[in-house]
Amino acid sequence: MRLALLALLLCAAACDRNQAQGQGGSGQAHEDPAREQARFDKVRNPAKVVEALKIRPGSRVADIGAGSGLLTIHLARAVAPNGRVVATDIDGQVLDLLHQRLSAAGLADIVERRIVDADRPGLEPGLYDAILLAEVDHQFSDPVAWLKAAIPALKPTGRIVISNRVHYRSGSMAAAQKAGLVLEDESTPVPTHFIAVFVPPGRK
């Protein structure tokens, strides 16, 4: 029962991410994808998220709770042509929408879709330059435990970036601190959302 409830919450988080500031998600599949993407990009300024991740061609990045890929497409462009994005979600259907978006942009080969358990990162150790949590960390049943489990997936120079609505900031910061992460940088590129960059202890 607890896992079923958590799955519903995380699904809601994916919808929240895709519908941020009126952006359509899987529930508005009839909307023109180009218009949906343009509106999302205008409101959310995804270039600032990519900048915080410090990814470049050849980088490997995990997009946690990727949803239909409104942010994933920007990560894929940043790491192309020889990088990799691992887009995770608990919902295979929404990852199918992500695949459609990436295919239309000619970026599907760069992105691996991965269905994961709600309570686990599902990432290989030591391979990731960056891990992005966009509008999802507040839905974990135990954010501290999740973050602790994600740290080993980072390369020695890797980082975890959390982007969420500003009213979730205090919870995100507290969880990251308890997980042992060190705040490296923080910004509020749009009034509704913050971006916080964390590194493992001993790196700052």
pLDDT band at 12 (very low <50, low <70, confident <90, very high): very low
Distance in angstroms (rounded) separating the CA atoms of residues 150 and 146: 6
Containing structural domain, residue 79: 2-199
pLDDT band at 33 (very low <50, low <70, confident <90, very high): confident
Query: Does a cis peptide bond (omega within 30 degrees of 0) precede residue 81?
Result: yes
Q: Is residue 42 part of a domain?
A: yes
* Pairing mode of beta strands 182-190, 193-199: antiparallel
Question: Is the pLDDT confidence value at 197 over 90?
Answer: yes
Q: Is residue 179 part of a domain?
A: yes
For residue 84, the domain's CATH number is 3.40.50.150
Domain count, the chain: 1
Mean pLDDT of 55-70: 97
Q: Is residue 204 part of a domain?
A: no
Helix axes 92-104, 72-79, angle to 10 degrees: 50
Q: Is residue 106 part of a domain?
A: yes
